[in-house]
Amino acid sequence: MIRCVRMWTGGDGDSLFEEGWIDLSSGIRGDSIGETVPVVELSFQETRSGGSYEWHQDPVPRFVITLSGTLEFQTESGATFTIRPGDILLAQDNTGSGHKWRLIGDDPWRRASVSLERSRPQLQAKQHGGTPMSTPVSENPESESPDVVLIGAGIMSATLGTVLKELEPTLNVVLFETLQDCAQESSEAWNNAGTGHAANCELNYTPRLPDGSIDISTALKVNTEFDLSRQLWSHLVTKGAIGDPYAFIESCPHMSFVWGDDNVTFLHDRYKAMSAHHCYHGMEYSDHHGEIAQWVPLVMEGREADQPIAATRMITGTDVDYGSLTHLLVSQLQAQPGFSLHYKHKVTDLDQLADGRWKVTVKDLQTKHKRTVTAKFVFIGAGGGGLELLQKSGIPEAHGYGGFPVSGIWLRCDVDEVSARHHAKVYGKAAEGSPPMSVPHLDTRIISGKRSLLFGPYAGFSSKFLKHGHYTDLFRSIEPSNVVPMLDVARQDWGLAEYLIGQVLQTGSHQFKVLEQFYPEAQRQDWREAVAGQRVQIIKPGPHHSGSLEFGTEVVGSADNSIVALLGASPGASTAAYVAFETLEKCFAKELADGWRDRLKTIIPTYGIDLTKDADATRETRAKTAALLGLTNV
Identity of the residue numbered 245: P
Residue 543 in 3-state DSSP? helix
- Predicted confidence band at 429 (pLDDT cuts at 50, 70, 90)? confident
Tens-place pLDDT, residues 10-67: 878 888 998 888 888 877 677 888 877 888 888 888 888 888 888 887 777 889 999 9
The residue with greater pLDDT, 468 or 202, is: 202
Q: What number is the average pLDDT over the span 450-466? A: 81
pLDDT at 355 over 60: yes
- Enumerate the domain spans of the chain: 3-115, 189-321+423-442+559-628
The whole-angstrom separation of Cα 225 and Cα 233 is: 13
Specify the range with the lowest mean pLDDT, choosing from 73-87, 434-448, 619-633.
434-448
Residue 29 CB neighbours (<10 A): 4
Angle at 426 between CA 438 and CA 284, to 5 degrees: 130
Pairing of strands 563-568, 377-380: parallel
Give the pLDDT of residue 130. Answer: 36
Percentage of residues in the chain having pLDDT higher than 90: 56
Q: Is 80 left (phi over 0), alpha (psi -120 to 50) or beta?
A: beta
Average per-residue pLDDT in the chain?
86
Question: The CATH number of 3-115 is which of 2.60.120.10, 1.10.10.10, 3.40.50.720, 2.40.30.10?
Answer: 2.60.120.10
The pLDDT assigned to 127 comes to: 32
Query: Is 90 exceeded by the pLDDT of residue 404?
Result: no
For residue 485, what pLDDT is reported? 76
Instruction: Output the pLDDT for position 284.
Output: 98
Which segment of 187-201, 341-355, 358-372, 515-529 scores lowest on mean pLDDT? 187-201
More confident residue, 65 or 509: 65
Q: Is 630 exposed, middle or buried (0-12, 13-18, 19+ CB in 10 A)?
A: buried
C-alpha 318/C-alpha 451 separation (Å) is 14
- Residue 493's pLDDT is 66
Q: What is the pLDDT of residue 223?
A: 95
Return the pLDDT at 506. Answer: 63
pLDDT of 124 > 60? The answer is no
Q: For the segment 292-321, what is each residue's pLDDT rounded down to a tens digit?
A: 999 999 999 999 999 999 999 999 999 999
Provide the pLDDT for residue 125: 31
* Whole-number Cα distances in Å, 161 to 293, 323, 360, 379: 44, 16, 18, 10
Contact (CB, 8 A) for 204 and 430: yes
Furthest C-alpha separation in the chain: 87
Amino acid residing at 107: D
Q: Does position 417 have pLDDT exceeding 50, yes or no?
A: yes
pTM: 0.75
pLDDT (tens digit per residue) in 476-494: 888 888 787 777 777 776 6
Kindly state the helix (H) or strand (E) to which residue 384 belongs, with its residue range.
none
pLDDT for the residue 131? 33
Angle at 152 between CA 150 and CA 155, to 5 degrees: 95
